[in-house]
Amino acid sequence: MSDEITSAVLKSDTSEVTVLSMGCAIQSWLVDGQPVVLGYDNPEDYRENPYCMNIIVGRVANRTANSRFELGGTVWKLPSNDGPHHLHGGAKGLGWQNWDLQQLSDSAVVLRLHSADLDQGYPGAVDFEVRLTLDGSALTWEMSAVPDRDTPINLAQHVYFNLDGRPDLNGHRFKINASKITPTGADLIPTGAITEVDGTRFDFRALAGLAEKDPGGLGYDLNYVIDDTNGPKARVVAENGMDMRLWTDQPGLQFYTGVHLNRFGSPSHAASHGPSSGFCLEAQAFPNVVNEPSFGSTLCSPDQPYFQRTTIDIRKPR
Residue 68: the pLDDT is: 98
**Distance between first and last Cα of the chain:** 44
CA-closest candidate to residue 280, choices 163, 161, 148, 178: 161
Residues belonging to the chain: 318
Q: Identify the active-site residue in 86, 172, 273, 282.
A: 282
Q: pTM higher than 0.85 for the full model?
A: yes
| Active-site residue flag, 282 | yes
Residue 271: the pLDDT is: 66
Residues of the chain with pLDDT under 50: none
Q: Do residues 30 and 107 touch, judged by C-beta distance below 8 A?
A: no
Q: What is the C-alpha separation between 89 and 98, in angstroms, rounded?
A: 15
Neighbouring-strand partners of residue 126: 115, 147
Q: Identify the active-site residue in 86, 88, 158, 273.
A: 158
Q: What is the C-alpha separation between 194 and 199, in angstroms, rounded?
A: 15
| Active-site residue flag, 70 | no
